[in-house]
Amino acid sequence: MTFHKLSKKQKVVFKWCYKDDYKAIICDGAVRSGKTICMITSFVLWSMKRFDGATFGICGKTVRSAERNIIMPLQSIVDITSHFKVTYTRSVNLLTIEGAGHKNYFYVFGGKDESSYMLIQGITLSGVFFDEVALMPRSFVEQAITRTLSVGQAKLWFNCNPDNQFHWFYTEWIQKAKDRNALHLHFLMSDNPILSPAQLEAAEQQFTGVFHDRYIKGLWVSAEGVIYKQFADNTKDYLIDKAPDDIMYCTIGFDFGGNGSAHAGICTGFTKGLKKVSVLEEYYRKEIITPTQLENDIITFIRKCQRKYNVYDIYFDSAETTLIRGVKTALIKNKVSINPHNARKTEVLGRIRFTNQIMSQGRFLVAKNCKHFIKAMQSAVWDSKQLKDVRLDDGNYNIDSLDAFEYSVEPLMKDIIAVSYTHLTLPTNSLV
C-alpha cells in the first residue's frame, strides 16, 4: 500500500516529529480511523532519517499482536519498502531496517501483564511505538518510557481505542497531554480518507452499547447497565423455533458450577461460511450433584446434541481439572465420540464484545427452548462498583450459561469476525 491521500490529522502525524515542540504524540479514537498505519509509517521514517545504529521499541499487548497489527502491515507499505530493506527475525523479535546509509534495530515487546516490565529493563531506546497502549499495564509503559530518558532526541508514539474515563492512560496522559509535552489527536472514522460513505455507514453497525460509544464515537466512557441491551429490548428478533437449515457443525461449551453457581452447557451451531451463530441446545442444573451424576448428565446432553447435529468438540472450564478428568474417563467408558478440550478462557471483555458485535450484525440467533440462556442474556449487567469493565457476578445472575456459550465460540471468534470485515469490503489498511 501507499499513501495517495491523507486527512488533515494524518498529515500532522507525519510532520510533528521533525519539530521540537512535542516529545510524544497520542492518537486515540474510533476503530478503522487510519491512525495506526500512518503512525507506524511516520515512526519508521522519522527514525531512519534521524538515527543510525540506534535501537527502538515496538510494543503491543503481546508480541504476536504487535506482529499482526504492526510488523506485517509495515512490510507492505510501499513508502517504506521502496526505500528500505525490511527484515524481521521472529526468533528474537527483531525488525531490522536498512537504507539511505542508515541501519536501525526495532525490538518487539509484549506488555500483557504486570510482570512484563521486566522484559524491557536494561535496554536503551531512541524511541518507542505503543500499539493499543490502553491494553498495557502502566508499569510496562512507564518502564519503556524510562528506557528513552538518556537519549536527547527520543520521541514516543501512542495509539489506542478508548476505554473507560477512569483508565490510567486517559487520566495521566490524555488529560495531562500539555503537561507531558504531548500532542493529542482524536480520530474518528471520518478522518480515514479511504473509507467511502457506504463503508462508514456499514461500520456504524458493527458495535452496540458501550462498544459503539468507544469504537465508533471514540469516547472514553464507563460500561453501565445492561450488557446486551439490544437483545434485552428486542428479544423476539433473535429467537428461532428451529435450527437454520444450513448448520454445518456445532460445538459445546461447558461451565462447571460451584459456590452457588450452576453447571451449564451450551450447544452452538455455525452456518455455512460462519455467517450466523445459533444457540441451539442448553443444559442447566444448579442443585448440588455428585461427580458421577454430572458425568452422566454431560454424556446425555452430548448424545442429545449429536442426534440432531454434527458435534465433534466440547470445551470445558479449565479450572476444574479433577472434574474434567472424570468426564474424559466417562466419555471413553461410554464410547462417546467427541473431542474434549480445555476452554481458552480469553478475556471476558473480548468475549462480550464479540457477542454484541455479531448481534448488531443480525448474525446471532437463539432457539426458544434455551430459556436459561435467554434470561441470562436479558439480565446480564456491568458491575457498577468496578472501575474496569467487569460483568457482575454476585450469585443473582446466571453468567454460567453465558460462560458456556463463550467457551463454545472462542476457537472461531476471529474467523467469524473476519467474515464481517469481508462483508464490509473495507480496504486492508483501514483495519489497523
**pLDDT in the model for residue 421:** 58
Q: Do residues 349 and 391 both lie within one domain?
A: yes
Q: Do residues 159 and 267 both lie within one domain?
A: no
d(CA 22, CA 133): 19
Residue 431 placed within a domain: no
CA 216 to chain centroid, in Å, comes to: 15
**pLDDT in the model for residue 123:** 93
The CATH number linked to 167 is: 3.40.50.300
Q: Do residues 149 and 273 both lie within one domain?
A: no
Domain end (from 171, 195, 219) = 195
**Cβ proximity of 264 and 255 under 8 Å:** yes
3-class DSSP state of 229: helix
Q: Do residues 255 and 398 both lie within one domain?
A: yes
Q: Do residues 279 and 393 both lie within one domain?
A: yes
Q: Do residues 375 and 241 both lie within one domain?
A: yes
Residue 384 placed within a domain: yes
Dihedral, 1, 33, 388, 364 alpha carbons, nearest 10: -90
What does R_g of the chain's alpha carbons equal in angstroms?
24
Residue 300 placed within a domain: yes
DSSP secondary structure letter of residue 30:
-
Residue 204 placed within a domain: no
**pLDDT in the model for residue 431:** 35
Grid coordinates given for 33: 480511523
Max Cα separation, the chain?
A: 72
Q: Residue type for 17, please?
A: C
pTM for the model: 0.82
Domain end (from 195, 212, 241) = 195
Residue 7 placed within a domain: no
Residue 375 placed within a domain: yes
Domain end (from 179, 195, 211) = 195
The CATH number linked to 326 is: 3.30.420.280
d(CA 169, CA 135): 10
Grid coordinates given for 10: 494524518
Q: What is the pLDDT along the chain (432 residues), one digit of tens a residue?
A: 667 789 999 999 999 999 999 999 999 999 989 999 999 999 999 999 999 999 999 999 999 999 999 999 999 898 899 999 999 999 999 999 999 999 999 999 998 888 887 888 889 999 999 999 999 999 999 999 999 999 999 999 999 999 999 999 999 999 999 999 999 999 999 999 988 888 888 888 888 889 999 999 999 999 999 999 999 999 999 999 999 999 999 999 999 997 778 999 999 999 999 999 999 999 999 988 999 999 999 999 999 999 999 999 999 999 899 999 999 999 999 999 999 999 999 999 999 999 999 999 999 999 999 999 999 999 999 998 888 899 999 888 899 999 999 999 999 999 999 886 555 444 444 333
Q: Which helix (H) or strand (E) holds 277?
A: strand 277-285
Residue 124 placed within a domain: yes
Q: Do residues 276 and 173 both lie within one domain?
A: no
Q: Cβ-count burial of 290 within 10 angstroms (0-12 exposed, 13-18 middle, 19+ buried)?
A: exposed
Count of structural domains within the chain: 2
DSSP secondary structure letter of residue 80:
H
**Which domain, by its residues, includes 410?**
229-422
Q: Do residues 160 and 261 both lie within one domain?
A: no
Residue 219 placed within a domain: no
